[in-house]
């Protein structure tokens, strides 16, 4: 489904970035990085009005010519970004949501690992597996 999945720390540095190996990895890094502009803006806008009653899923951040970028922010301000190919129109909003939820659960598991130091980059096979699951599926459908 996704061509790139990223986890960004509260301080906006990357904790985890995986992209489809066939394409330019650097380009995805830039895409994810620039999408943080929109994430920041959305967080600050919501923060003012609703306080804690925030929806974690931010929806479509911005469409580029080739990709759609979706965002999700946990309560501890850790950001998840999923980049999807624009040509992939079959993907519903709900599916994106469930992808994020899965990602969040897996991330929580990583955080619960006593051997993981929060703030360090994620090195977890289980997390890798979840992410690959979301990315491999694309390869089969496309």
Kindly list the residues in this chain that would bind other proteins in the complex (CB under 8 A).
11-14, 17, 25-26, 29-30, 33-34, 36-38, 41, 61-62, 64-65, 117-120
Q: Is 62 buried (19+), middle (13-18) or exposed (0-12) by CB count in 10 A?
A: middle
- The span from the first CA to the last CA of the chain, in angstroms, equals 9
- Spatial CB neighbours of 26, under 8 Å, sequence gap ≥ 6: none
The nearest distance, CB 117 to other proteins, in angstroms, is 4
The nearest distance, CB 78 to other proteins, in angstroms, is 15
The nearest distance, CB 137 to other proteins, in angstroms, is 25
Q: Which residue has the tokens 């897996």?
A: 106
Which of 55, 98 has the CB closer to other proteins? 55
The nearest distance, CB 6 to other proteins, in angstroms, is 11
Which of 118, 133 has the CB closer to other proteins? 118
Which of 36, 134 has the CB closer to other proteins? 36
Which of 23, 105 has the CB closer to other proteins? 23
DSSP string covering 12-45: S-EEEEEE-TTS-HHHHHHHHHHHHHHHHHHHHH
Which of 14, 88 has the CB closer to other proteins? 14
What CA–CA distance (Å, rounded) separates 12 from 38? 12
The nearest distance, CB 118 to other proteins, in angstroms, is 6
What CA–CA distance (Å, rounded) separates 62 from 93? 14
């Amino acid at each position: 489904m996704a061509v790139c999945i990223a986890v960004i720390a509260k301080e906006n540095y990357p904790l985890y970035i995986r992209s489809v190996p066939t394409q330019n990895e650097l380009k995805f890094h830039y895409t994810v990085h620039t999408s943080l502009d929109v994430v920041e803006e959305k967080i600050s806008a919501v923060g003012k009005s609703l306080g804690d009653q925030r929806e974690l899923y931010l929806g479509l951040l911005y469409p580029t010519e080739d990709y759609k970028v979706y965002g999700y922010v946990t309560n501890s301000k850790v950001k998840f970004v999923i980049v999807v190919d624009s040509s992939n129109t079959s993907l519903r909003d709900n599916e994106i949501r469930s992808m994020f939820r899965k990602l969040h659960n897996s991330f929580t598991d990583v955080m619960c690992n006593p051997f993981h130091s929060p703030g360090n980059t994620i090195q977890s096979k289980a997390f890798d597996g979840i992410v690959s699951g979301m990315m491999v599926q694309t390869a089969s459908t496309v």
